[in-house]
Amino acid sequence: MSGAVFTGSPLGIGGGVVFTLLLGFACASDLRARRIPNSLVLALAVSGLAFSVASDTVAPGLARGAGGALVGLVIWIPFWLLRWLGAGDVKLFGAAGAWLGVWGTVEAAVIAAAVGGVLAVGWLVWMRGLRDAVERLMVATVHPRVLRQPVSQTADRRRLVPYAVALAAGLIVAGWCPSVFF
C-alpha cells in the first residue's frame, strides 16, 4: 500500500489527522529550537506501528510499519553522516515511515528532497542575501564543501535550515495524496 494512506476510511482519516498533527508539532519545535524531542519521535513511531497493525492484521501490519521505519532511517542516515541533517530529522523520518510503509516512505523521501532543496536555497538567500547566495551556489557546483559549515555554538543553531519542514511536507503529501511515483 502506498500513497493516499489516509483516505477512504474513518481509520485512515483519523490516523492521518494524528500523523499530520504530530508532524506539525515536530515542525514547530524545529522552527523554534532546531530540535525535535525524542518523546515526539517515539509517539510518532508507536502510533505509526499501531496504525499499520490496525490497518491490516498483526504480522503484515508490523512488517509494513517496521519496513517503512527502517527504509526511512536508511534513506537519510547518509545525510546525517555528512552532517547535512540532524539526528532528530533522521529519527523523525524513520518514525513517520512506520505510518506509510516502504513505498510510501520512499515516495515521501523523493518529495521531501525536492522540497528540501527549495527550502535550503530559500534559507541561503534569506540568511546571506541574494548576491552572496548566488555566488556560493555557483562556487558550490565546483566545490560542494563550501556549503558545509560546522555548527559549534548554540547561537549558531538558528542559522541551520529547519529541515523537519521539508521532511514533513514530503510525508504529508505521500500520506494524503494519491501516489505519484508508485
**Does the pLDDT value for residue 17 go beyond 60?**
yes
Average pLDDT in the 82-89 region? Answer: 90
Question: Residue 5 is placed in which grid cell?
Answer: 494512506
**Residue 76 near residue 109 (C-beta atoms within 8 A):** yes
* pLDDT at residue 37 is higher than 60: yes
Task: Tell me which of 62-71, 123-132, 163-172 is least confident.
Answer: 123-132
pLDDT average, residue stretch 52-77: 96
C-alpha cell at 67: 519496513
pLDDT for residue 58 is more than 50: yes
**Separation between Cα atoms, residue 126 and residue 56, nearest integer Å:** 45
Alpha-carbon span 169 to 132, nearest angstrom: 27
Hey, where are the domains in the chain? 10-176
